[in-house]
Amino acid sequence: MITINDKSKCCGCSACVNICPTVAITMFPDEQGFLYPVADTVKCIGCGKCEAVCPVLNPTPEREHEQLAYLLQHKDPAILRESTSGGAFTAIAQAVIRRGGVVFGAGYGGGFRVVHRYVEDTAELRAFRNSKYVQSDKAGSFGEVRGFLEAGRHVLFSGTPCEVEGLLDFLGDLGGSGLLLTADVVCRAVPSPLVLRTYLKMIDAGNITGLRFRDKRKYGYLYSQFVVECGGSCRVSEGIETNTYLRAFYSGVCLRPSCYTCKFRKRYRRSDFTLWDCWDASKFTGNHAKFTQSSGITRMLIHSEKGRELLPEILAQCTHEEISPDVAVKYDAREMFEPVKKDGERCARFWRAFGDDPEGALREFFPKTLKTRLEAALRRAAFRTGIYSFVRGMYKRFFGERKR
Ligand SMILES: Cc1cc2nc3c(=O)[nH]c(=O)nc-3n(C[C@H](O)[C@H](O)[C@H](O)COP(=O)(O)OP(=O)(O)OC[C@H]3O[C@@H](n4cnc5c(N)ncnc54)[C@H](O)[C@@H]3O)c2cc1C
Ligand code: SF4
Ligand code: SF4
Ligand code: SF4
């Protein structure tokens, strides 16, 4: 029977919940707002399936295989604008739906909680576009995937690498049936849903009608904004240096414990597609002029024959360029290989303060200061004068990734 003694050993994928034959396991939030499985000892029959399916307890060794790599930018301007980077996810999903398939992804449920669910119509794919930087609730979605596969439907499941590996372990042989495609992202980490809820309460965001973690509408891809819309009008539109929630995410204080020792960071994955950002196409190809960098470009690795079969349909939707897989993972790919470093003392201080006064902790740890306001003003000025990408590139070259 699954028992979580060390929280860093549970990524919250929910494979154990979905496999339990007696429905003995339920996911409950802990005091930090992360979901963990709790088994009912009365219902448990001791079959051991929950422990056997767990992708953290039973890591799959990385196996080198043939890969293809592409830079992609969706040709539909509306799709591209709504997507986090180049909209490659939508191009894959459109191809699966054209085959009569079903697409699972992270969208919003009631109260803007992030949940995994499915859609069957291309018009509904917009719900999954744009990265939600918070852990999603998978609920019964793995069981639903199994149901569709058993009914002979094509399925695309998109999510973080641990979710994809948890799903594949849960499905066993059914996952290799040819009907399932999986797309994972290069994943920095997931913050706590409770921290997001606290932030939204702190800014008094009642009647939320829109929430976008990487909104490109105002300043484009390279300086995307965290946007909250209430009653149809904009309540917050802030960049990475000013927004309290993004600063909390990138500071690393409020991440799921398993993310600091993530077992799913690797180049050779079990998914069919891996998607991530491309901040500077000129690093990867001499043919970069065909892309509009400021609109967003996705880097994509293809890991499987199933993925290669879908490729012509994906490429038909996108401006694209094939690149070397070795080059694709050479630059700006730290999160593919290295977990976020944990500052144990600062994390402990943050969670102590958060336990006492959640909103107060966010204000104390991520205050709006003259420095953050000045930096935001400088970024906006650089953007308006057209030198933003140059300044951003120089900053990264000399200082690397900034600490927040
Ligand atoms: C939590 C998270 C962390 C990430 N960290 C990095 C990183 O460090 N470096 C990097 O280069 N790229 C990272 N990405 C990937 C990047 O943000 C884009 O998702 C990627 O470039 C694909 O963009 P797109 O335009 O093709 O897809 P989009 O149209 O933006 O589609 C978004 C896709 O992400 C999935 N998704 C969205 N939110 C979640 C969530 N909370 N949990 C699971 N799946 C979700 C959707 O189901 C969909 O498949 C991260 C994504 C997420 C969700
Ligand atoms: S041991 Fe079997 S019955 Fe008990 S919780 Fe795990 S999967 Fe369920
Ligand atoms: S990692 Fe997934 S399968 Fe393992 S205990 Fe956590 S929720 Fe269950
Ligand atoms: S960092 Fe690793 S453990 Fe955390 S959500 Fe991403 S894949 Fe899962």
Beta-carbon neighbour count of residue 362 at 10 Å? 24
132-166: pLDDT as tens digits? 999 999 999 999 999 999 999 999 999 999 999 99
Ligand 1 atom closest to the CA of 335, numbered from 1: 8
- Looking at residue 400, what is its pLDDT? 57
User: Is 159 near ligand 1, meaning CB less than 6 Å away?
Assistant: yes
Ligand nearest to the CA of 4: 3
What residues does CATH 3.30.70 cover in the chain?
Answer: 7-53
How far, in Å, from the CA of 243 to the mean position of ligand 3? 32
The preferred substitution site among 16, 38, 50, 54 for testing ligand 2, maximizing ligand atoms within 8 Å of CB, is: 50
Nearest CA to ligand 2 atom 8: 20
Dist CA 74 CA 83 (whole Å): 9
User: Is 44 near ligand 2, meaning CB less than 6 Å away?
Assistant: yes
Nearest to 297 by CA among 84, 68, 72, 69: 72
User: Is 200 near ligand 4, meaning CB less than 6 Å away?
Assistant: no
How far, in Å, from the CA of 45 to the mean position of ligand 2? 6
What residues does CATH 3.40.640 cover in the chain?
Answer: 68-190+255-337
How far, in Å, from the CA of 14 to the mean position of ligand 3? 5
How far, in Å, from the CA of 262 to the mean position of ligand 3? 13
Nearest CA to ligand 3 atom 6: 10
How far, in Å, from the CA of 89 to the mean position of ligand 1? 9
Contacts of 258 (CB under 8 A, 6+ apart): 7, 8, 9, 10, 11, 12, 56, 162
How far, in Å, from the CA of 14 to the mean position of ligand 2? 13
pLDDT, mean of residues 304-320: 98
How far, in Å, from the CA of 292 to the mean position of ligand 4? 30
What is the residue type of 91? A
Q: Is the pLDDT of residue 404 over 80?
A: no
- Looking at residue 182, what is its pLDDT? 98
182-199: pLDDT as tens digits? 999 999 999 999 999 999
Residues in contact with ligand 3 by the CB-under-6-Å rule are 2, 10-16, 37, 53-54, 56, 166
Higher local confidence (pLDDT), 84 or 381: 84
Q: Is the pLDDT of residue 328 over 70?
A: yes
Average pLDDT for the chain: 95
Euclidean distance between the first and final Cα of the chain, in Å? 40
User: Is 13 near ligand 1, meaning CB less than 6 Å away?
Assistant: no
Q: Give residue 403's pLDDT band: very low, low, confident or very high (50, 70, 90).
A: very low
The three-state secondary structure class of 162 is: helix
Share of the chain above pLDDT 90, in %: 88
Nearest CA to ligand 4 atom 8: 162
pLDDT, mean of residues 107-120: 96
Distances (CA, A) of 331 to 19, 279, 398: 39, 10, 15
Ligand nearest to the CA of 53: 3
Q: What's the fold here for domain 68-190+255-337? A: Aspartate Aminotransferase; domain 2 (3.40.640)
290-301: pLDDT as tens digits? 999 999 999 999
Share of the chain above pLDDT 70, in %: 97
Contacts of 265 (CB under 8 A, 6+ apart): 161, 187, 335, 336, 337, 338, 339
Contact 190, 160 (CB under 8 A): yes
261-286: pLDDT as tens digits? 999 999 999 999 999 999 999 999 99
The preferred substitution site among 7, 8, 11 for testing ligand 3, maximizing ligand atoms within 8 Å of CB, is: 11
pLDDT, mean of residues 211-222: 96
Ligand nearest to the CA of 125: 1
- Looking at residue 395, what is its pLDDT? 65
Q: Is the pLDDT of residue 374 over 80?
A: yes
Nearest to 383 by CA among 247, 249, 186, 216: 216
Ligand nearest to the CA of 3: 3
Ligand 3 atom closest to the CA of 9, numbered from 1: 1
331-373: pLDDT as tens digits? 999 999 999 999 999 999 999 999 999 999 999 999 988 888 8
How far, in Å, from the CA of 162 to the mean position of ligand 4? 6
Nearest CA to ligand 3 atom 5: 10
Structure tokens at 72: 């992609």
- Looking at residue 54, what is its pLDDT? 98
Ligand 4 atom closest to the CA of 255, numbered from 1: 4
7-53 domain in CATH 3.30.70? yes
